[in-house]
Amino acid sequence: MSTINRQIHLVSRPQGEPSTANFALVEAPVEALADGEVLVRIHYLSLDPYMRGRMNESKSYAQPQPLNEVMIGGTVGEVVESRNEHFKVGDKVVGMGGWQEYQRVNASQRGVLQKVDTTHIPLSAYLGAVGMPGVTAWYGLTQIIAPKAGETVVVSAASGAVGGAVGQLAKARGCRVVGLAGGPAKCEAVVNELGFDACIDYKAHPDLRSLSKALKDACPDGIDGYFENVGGMILDAVMLRANAFSRIAFCGMIAGYNGEPIPMANPALILVNRMKLEGFIVSEHMQLWPEALKELGTMVATGKFKYRETVAQGLESAPEAFLGLLKGKNFGKQLVKLV
Amino acid sequence: MSTINRQIHLVSRPQGEPSTANFALVEAPVEALADGEVLVRIHYLSLDPYMRGRMNESKSYAQPQPLNEVMIGGTVGEVVESRNEHFKVGDKVVGMGGWQEYQRVNASQRGVLQKVDTTHIPLSAYLGAVGMPGVTAWYGLTQIIAPKAGETVVVSAASGAVGGAVGQLAKARGCRVVGLAGGPAKCEAVVNELGFDACIDYKAHPDLRSLSKALKDACPDGIDGYFENVGGMILDAVMLRANAFSRIAFCGMIAGYNGEPIPMANPALILVNRMKLEGFIVSEHMQLWPEALKELGTMVATGKFKYRETVAQGLESAPEAFLGLLKGKNFGKQLVKLV
């Protein structure tokens, strides 16, 4: 009797805001392993904003998510069957298993499946602080913003997995760190749990003038670095407070994921303030992952790095949890727990 | 009897587009020299787009031009009197004399006045190809765009002093070079005189779609580097054709000098294409001027660098010539000839 693998497929492309109707739960048998293959029982799915971009058909830096196939995504789990000499039953692994309960994968290709050590670091952290979001934060901060001690670094979506990591890595480098997050509860936690110097509730500042004033108050010496996770009015407000020679790392533009391009109000400030703006995709800089993961892993294992997780239960909850992520309903890393 | 020095002062700040009424011709006596001072008879004034920004009161990277004082600007001329041991009568010099016929200057401060050699390079070229505009082109191209041979570099205001230099420096590095200029006559000369591979008449493409299509035709392999002199719709059109890892050097935003901020339509492309955008002010990088001037001077002296000059006659013509520059009426370096 074969094991049943439940999967979530993308079955239609959203026009504007996505809905649960774009997804379908599908059952498929787990087929027998071929030589070199490994079967992983997935424990956690990672939900990330980049997935929204993949749901569109339009050309971007990555191929679109194909219709009627398992939604892509990072996963952690445990090897339950192996025909590969490098993996044995019981190994904890991180990979790109997608939205399903079992991942059957040829593990001979380098990098497809990584064994991880859960002695000092919880398995789920390999999808967050010690995974892609953590490295994303590390890359944008250290390679683009490259802050000096005493500089002011601002990060949007500060309570998210990437934003929280940016702030803590910047604090460790002696910066003043100011977050932006939605709602007083998130802002309070960003300051009191994650250790930011200040956090602005952008929902309390519905217009550019008000938000710009709040940034001025929180950043009395101006802004030297900005880690951009959202785009839109927050970007405009930050640029109004940017110092000469400031740097912006473009990591995400969640405000524009639903199709409508959101303009930058005053690009002349790039010249006036001699700014540098740079976009990046962390998967294009694999050579730096070991250095990043070393710092992040050490911080997590020694308790110097704080993070929260928002955990949805069961595969069938993934679409709803993903829609919530796009609306900022999560706090910290959004996961789906399968086991 | 003292010599009369005619000067042009800024007497009011423009609201929007400037007019000749913002300027006034003023006569003042040339006072006797103090120790260390030099009197220069100015031969050419340089007119440059950056002066428009200085006419505004608002905070920018430089102090505003004060009212009722001589308009700032680069100048070349000849020493006619000297109480400084490093300068003698007859020396050709470049400095920041401003819009006047005589410059009385304490030449003891390093860099205030530079002697130049006119054996192989015409005096006026020190305000253009072998001066600030040439170094501006060199800096943005080599330090920000940093093109590889075979890449495509686009430059706006291609028939201007900076744009023409960008294109020729990029051609010398093995790039495909495409200009943008206003009108068929300028475009024809950009290709046939300056040696660009192609030049697009932006006036023939009044909307984004049409301009973007023209760029696609002229840049079949996309755009790797863009030297931004104008802002506005041209920037948007270039970004639609930008390759992954492309670079934009922000040198000028002439389209927005009259006060109205011009948005960037789709900043998400910075992320999608992992672009780098960087603004710069050439006077902040004085340590690189010798290297830049060496390359530019050698190219001019050996006839490998083509440039045009548009020369207005007499100090009183400066305001009108400056307004024409802002409207793109010049071809190449805009000068005012005083002697």
| Strand B333-337 to B37-46 pairing | antiparallel
Per the prediction, chain A carries an average pLDDT of 94
* Residues in chain B closer than 8 A to A264 (CB atoms): 263-264, 267
Angle at A5 between CA A23 and CA A72, to 5 degrees: 45
CATH fold of A4-128+308-337: Quinone Oxidoreductase; Chain A, domain 1 (3.90.180)
Please tell me the distance in Å from B71's CA to the nearest CA on chain A: 21
The segments of chain B whose pLDDT lies below 70 read 1, 59-61, 253-259
Residue type present at position B311: V
Where do the DSSP E strands lie in B133-222? 152-155, 176-181, 198-201
Which residues make Cβ contacts (< 8 Å) with residue B238, sequence separation at least 6?
A: B154, B215, B223, B226, B228, B248
ipTM of the complex: 0.89
Write down the pLDDT at residue A260: 73
CATH fold of A132-283: Rossmann fold (3.40.50)
Residues A279, B271: C-beta atoms closer than 8 Å: yes
Residues A61, B261: C-beta atoms closer than 8 Å: no
Residues A267, B61: C-beta atoms closer than 8 Å: no
Pick the residue of A143, A227, A234, A277 with the most B CBs within 10 A to test the interface with B by mutation.
Answer: A277
Structure confidence by residue, pLDDT tens digits, A37-82: 999 999 999 999 889 989 998 766 678 999 999 999 999 999 999 9
* Residues in chain A closer than 8 A to B145 (CB atoms): none
**Measured in whole angstroms, how far is the alpha carbon of residue B325 from the centre of its chain?**
10
Write down the pLDDT at residue A53: 86
Structure confidence by residue, pLDDT tens digits, A77-102: 999 999 999 999 999 999 999 999 99
Judge contact between B77 and B43, C-beta under 8 A. Answer: yes
- Secondary structure of residue A198 in the 3-state scheme: strand
Q: How confident is the model at residue A256 (pLDDT cuts 50, 70, 90)?
A: low
Write down the pLDDT at residue B110: 83
Pick the residue of A238, A241, A270 with the most B CBs within 10 A to test the interface with B by mutation.
Answer: A270
Whether A257 has a pLDDT exceeding 90, the answer reads no
Stretch 273-332 of chain A: residues touching chain B, C-beta under 8 Å: 273-281, 284
Write down the pLDDT at residue B34: 95
Write down the pLDDT at residue B275: 97
Q: How confident is the model at residue A255 (pLDDT cuts 50, 70, 90)?
A: low
Pick the residue of A253, A272, A273, A274 with the most B CBs within 10 A to test the interface with B by mutation.
Answer: A272
Angle of helix A233-240 relative to helix A208-218, nearest 10 degrees, comes to: 50
* Residues in chain A closer than 8 A to B274 (CB atoms): 61, 278-281, 284
Write down the pLDDT at residue A254: 61
The whole-number average pLDDT for the span A161-167 is 96
Write down the pLDDT at residue A57: 86
**Within an 8 Å CB–CB cutoff, is residue B157 touching chain A?**
no
* Residues in chain B closer than 8 A to A56 (CB atoms): none
Which residues make Cβ contacts (< 8 Å) with residue A85, sequence separation at least 6?
A: none
Structure confidence by residue, pLDDT tens digits, A302-337: 999 999 999 999 999 999 999 999 988 989 999 999
* Residues in chain A closer than 8 A to B49 (CB atoms): none
**For tokens 């294409």, what's the residue?**
B273
Whether A176 has a pLDDT exceeding 90, the answer reads yes
Length of chain B: 339
The whole-number average pLDDT for the span A190-210 is 97
Stretch 182-241 of chain A: residues touching chain B, C-beta under 8 Å: 231, 235
* Residues in chain A closer than 8 A to B278 (CB atoms): 270, 274-277
* Residues in chain A closer than 8 A to B265 (CB atoms): 261, 263
Whether A221 has a pLDDT exceeding 70, the answer reads yes
Write down the pLDDT at residue B58: 75
* Domain extent listing, chain A: 4-128+308-337, 132-283
From A263, A267, A277, residue closest to B231, measured CB to CB: A267
**Within an 8 Å CB–CB cutoff, is residue B62 touching chain A?**
no
Query: Which of A194-203, A212-221, B247-256, B263-272 has the weakest average pLDDT?
Result: B247-256
Residues B274, A262: C-beta atoms closer than 8 Å: no
Instruction: Give me the total of CB pairs closer than 8 Å, taking one residue from chain A and one from chain B.
Output: 97
